[in-house]
Amino acid sequence: MSHLETLIGRNLEPSEQHSVPTLNELPPLMLEEARKLARVSRPMAVSYLQYHVAEAAVATDFCDDVLLGTHAMATWGIRAVLCYRDLSIDELMNEPVEEMIAEMGVFIGERWYRKQPNREFTESRGAPGVLVRAANYLWKRPLGAASVVAGSDIEQIADANIVIAFRRWIASRIGWQAEDYLSTNGVTAAGILAALAHDPASVSVDASVAISALVHEAALLRSAETDLPLGYMGPDDWYR
């Protein structure tokens, strides 16, 4: 540390080691010293941060973005995140929505939100989830969760509509998996299950409702001009 002390012009105090909880909380003097070091030696700046900050595993990125870049320290590494259930298509079709909601009881955040449905399919698109508005760089998603950065395309779901929202998400995932079949004539619920090679006996009531709605939406695919994907084309009544 002697070379580091020479560069900043003072001795490092043992009491300062790991005295700062996160990189977002550097006091002004330390921030200025870290910037000074970064202009001379990036590795030295990283070492300085790792000495003073308790949680500094990503100090290199902080150095590039904040010390050498233009990102504000206080907001660096902080973003809004949407947490939703990490489920395969088979799990989505087998697990009742009531259980999905119960499993999300340990998710800490604001209920309920989703990324607005559109034709650009991702597994997170339309997934009902919990919004964490200010997740910092230390945040970790809970067990059983997937997560996605929440942008301006986030919308709130009313509690009264949450079951319908989950069923629509199930339908959208099924619709993506069975897209080729759903674009044909004479779509049936049995045909959807066959296209997915899924055991009919294991399908939940919620997935059965979603599949029934998809049969109706398949007809809309060929007649309606819409930017909405399967699972979101029909009225709520189809998903009740």
| Domains of the chain, residue spans | 2-75, 79-159, 163-239
Mean pLDDT of the chain: 93
The sign of the torsion formed by the CA atoms of 177, 104, 124, 187 equals positive
Distance set, CA 100 to CA 18, 95, 127, 233 (Å) = 40, 7, 11, 23
Q: Which of 61, 84, 76, 103 is nearest to 141 (CA)?
A: 84
pLDDT at residue number 75: 96
Question: What are the φ and ψ backbone dihedral angles of 103, each rounded to 5 degrees?
Answer: -65, -25
Torsion of CA 33, 37, 43, 49, to 10 degrees: 0
pLDDT at residue number 51: 95
Torsion of CA 187, 188, 189, 190, to 10 degrees: -110
Query: pTM for this structure?
Result: 0.87
pLDDT-flagged residues of the chain (< 70): 222-225
pLDDT at residue number 223: 63
Q: Which of 165, 164, 178, 162 is nearest to 215 (CA)?
A: 178
pLDDT at residue number 225: 66
In the DSSP assignment, the letter for residue 63 is I
pLDDT at residue number 190: 96
pLDDT at residue number 122: 83
pLDDT at residue number 183: 87
